[in-house]
Amino acid sequence: MKVALCGVTGRMGKTILSVLLEKGHVLAHALDADSCSMLGQDAGAFIATKTGIAIQSLSSVSLAADVAVDFSTPSATEVLLQKAVASSIPVVIGTTGFSETQRIKIQKAAEFIPIVFSPNMSVGVNLLFKLTQIASSILQEGYDVEIFEAHHRLKKDSPSGTAKKLIDIVRENRKDLEQAKLIHGREGIVGERTNNEIGVMVLRGGDIVGEHTVYFVENGERIELTHRATSRENFARGAVKAAEFVVNKKPGLYTMFDVLGL
């Protein structure tokens, strides 16, 4: 495939580039922000190789690729989608932190091009999503639900997109928690825990790649579903798998469940 990679200088961008080249795909565009200090340099400088493709600003490029892979920022994703729709190019979106308005724009774009949209491309994390779906449908009223996530100190959004997806899964499968209040911290005399809340706790520090745990707690027992990532390569391989999947698909909004056949 000829791939346009948006957010190429980021942590995930570098790792995805390595996986793309390892699998024999071709880098068509290496894209980043107008303010990126690496503009004009070979995209392979990060991974000790030469690609022959200079890093360019997203705003300056007309896309010509088989697929675009996006791990950038919500505002950059909006620009990328406009260009992708204009050129009929499929898109894989792994960016997080979207507002509801931006999510609607993604849904609208999917009416014209195929899009894989997931807050997490890891095979293991998507298995966590599926297990949470199963557990939420079985562990109904009486089981308190709490979610914990941890990431590196440089992560900008909180809670993570993966944690938000886990919340959505719980709400979809627990009617009693469909309108549950999200509790992002407890301090002082806050009173007893109610039956209409989901605790969402966040840790930020060091170089933690990513950790997520969903707790289902009842009197006398506790079920914990946990995924811990020790490398970004798992996410990158999932993103490349999604790109391979979405090429030649019909317009529509796809998830990693579709990619993995879950």
State the catalytic residues.
151, 155
- Rounded alpha-carbon distances, angstroms, from residue 164 to 129, 153, 161, 262: 11, 19, 5, 20
Q: Which residues contact 102 (CB under 8 A, 6 or more apart)?
A: 74, 77, 78
- For 122-172, strand residue ranges (E) read 144-151
Going across the sheet that includes 210-218, the strands are 181-183, 197-204, 144-151, 210-218, 221-229
CB atoms within 10 A of CB 75: 13
Q: Which pair of tokens denotes residue 165?
A: 């997806």
Report the C-alpha gap between 57 and 36 in whole angstroms: 8
- What sign does the CA torsion over 35, 41, 43, 44 have? negative
d(CA 56, CA 39): 5
How many residues in total does the chain contain? 262
User: For 201, which DSSP code?
Assistant: E
